[in-house]
Amino acid sequence: MDRIPILKMGPFLLVTIQVDLYDRLALTLENDLISMVSKTGARGVLIDISAVSIVDSFMGRILGNIASMSRIMDAETVVVGMQPAVAITLVELGLTLQGVYTALDVEKGMELLQDKIGIFEDPEQEKEGPDDSDD
Partner 1 sequence: MNTIAQLLQNNKKKILENWMQNQLSDTSLRDDLISNEELRRQSDELINGLSRATAGGNVDNIYAPEYEPVVEILSDISITRARQGFSPRETGMYVLSLKQAIITVLQDKYSEQPEVLYKELLTVNNLLDMLSMVTFDTYIKGREEVILRQTDEINEISTPVIRVWEGILALPIIGTLDSARTQIVMENLLQEIVNTGSSIAILDISGVPAVDSLVAQHLIKTVSATRLMGAECIISGIRAEIAQTIVHLGIDLSNIKTKASLASALQLAFSMRSVEVRKISKNTGFHIGR
Partner 2 sequence: MIVMTKDTMQIVREQDVVPFRNRVREMCTKIGMSLVNQTKLITAASELVRNMLKYANGGKVVLETISKNAQAGIRLVFVDEGPGIADIHQAMRDGFSTGKSLGLGLPGAKRLVNEFDIKSATGEGTTVTIIHWKNGR
Rounded to the nearest whole angstrom, what is the least distance from the CB of residue 24 to partner 1 in the complex?
25
Nearer to partner 1, 37 or 90 (CB): 90
**Cβ atoms 67, 99 nearer than 8 A:** yes
Other CB atoms within 10 Å distance of the CB of residue 98? 8
Report the partner that residue 57 touches, choosing among partner 2, partner 1, none (CB closer than 5 to 8 A by kind). Answer: partner 2
Q: Angle 57-72/84-93 helices, nearest 10 degrees?
A: 90
Q: What span, in angstroms and rounded, lies between the C-alpha atoms of 6 and 33?
A: 7
Rounded to the nearest whole angstrom, what is the least distance from the CB of residue 5 to partner 1 in the complex?
23
Site for partner 1 in 82-121 (CB under 8 A): 82-84, 86-88, 90-92, 96-97, 102-105, 108-109
Nearer to partner 2, 65 or 102 (CB): 65
**Cβ atoms 46, 14 nearer than 8 A:** yes
